[in-house]
Amino acid sequence: RPQAGRMREFHQFGVECFGAASPAADAEIISLAKQILCEIGIKNIALYINSIGCSECRKEYSKALKEYFRANIDSLCDTCKDRLERNPMRILDCKSPADKEIAKGAPKILDYLCEDCSAHFELVKKYLTANNVEFTVNPAIVRGLDYYTRTVFEFVSNEIGAQGTVCGGGRYDGLIEEMGGKPTAACGFGLGIERLLLLMDAQQTAFPERKKCDIFIGSMGENENLKASQLATDLRNEGLAAQFDTVGRSLKAQMKYADKIGSLYTMVIGTNELEIGKAVLKNMTDGTTEEIELDGFTDKFQSVVIKQAMSGFESLGLEGIDINDILGGGINGNN
Ligand SMILES: [Zn+2]
Ligand SMILES: [Zn+2]
């Protein structure tokens, strides 16, 4: 029977990094997972790391493990009795409490790492430490899949039942070749959506707010609507969120809609605006308006936003705040 939040069918999202063999890549992947969890607002989550070495180190280790578990074979569960000769490392991953107890006394892979694997693991730890990523080396982390090499890790919470792994991953340098490709270094992680939601629920984490619309461009008439669509496309190409009317609302209804979606700015394109090539941009937060040229609109719009944001900083003494946080989208195509 699956544990809480551990469904037979589940969703996950993950990150895969191919072609990077350096320990810095392992640390980057782990840092990224941590940052995602932090930005969502997850607290009290432990990071466990381990190295399970390469096929070279595992030869000796496998021998030692078999020897150890053979001495305890009568106490092992049926699955693990079967695993003993085939793949004794999987016994370390068994969830049966009795087997877990036996596994505690088993030889540790870290004592069997070859020189290269050992050096790799030391560097992963060094990178994590240098970047303030707290971790605990836990020899019980072996991951359930055979294709892992060297680094393995899990982010674990004790707030969602006995098996609190929310995110797990590591390095799997042998996988691509095993599937018929060229030998390729690889590392990554998977993050279980259902388990993440369970944890967010347990911690009463607020869902992130949807990104607001930067500008709603109202329009009246076919040519005006066409212009609004072009302006919106240009803005989006620069990473801004822009909307215009596609359902034939009246101008009044369009403005009501812009207000409802919390658009930060609005502008209306009518026959006159098209003719003179200018329109009035309205800041929906403070109600101020400013005339703006439609030619090269995206750049001019961004200048106005920055200028208004800066004047806000001066009066509030908040210089140095990232402008991207205010604008929502990126400036000059960032993000
Ligand atoms: Zn090795
Ligand atoms: Zn077992």
- Ligand 1: centre distance to CA 117 (Å): 4
The low-confidence residues of the chain, meaning pLDDT below 70, are 1-7, 144-145, 162, 312-335
CATH code for residues 12-54+114-202? 3.30.930.10
The Å distance, Cα 201 to ligand 2 centre, comes to 31
ipTM score here?
A: 0.91
- Residue ranges of domains in the chain: 12-54+114-202, 215-333
Q: How far is the CA of 83 from the centre of ligand 2 (A)?
A: 8
Between the two ends of the chain, the Cα-to-Cα distance in Å is 43
Q: Residue 270 has which token pair?
A: 């009518």
- Determine the Cα–Cα distance for residues 225 and 229; give it in Å rounded to an integer: 6
**215-333 has the same fold as 12-54+114-202:** no
- Residues 115, 117, 118, 119, CA torsion sign: positive
pLDDT value at residue 313: 60
What local confidence, expressed as pLDDT, does residue 269 receive?
Answer: 97
CA 187 to ligand 2 centroid distance, Å: 28
pLDDT at 324: 55
Query: pLDDT value at position 311?
Result: 78
86 CA → ligand 1 middle, Å: 20
* Domain covering 215-333, topology: Rossmann fold (3.40.50)
User: Taking a C-beta distance cutoff of 8 angstroms, is the pair 27, 127 a contact?
Assistant: yes
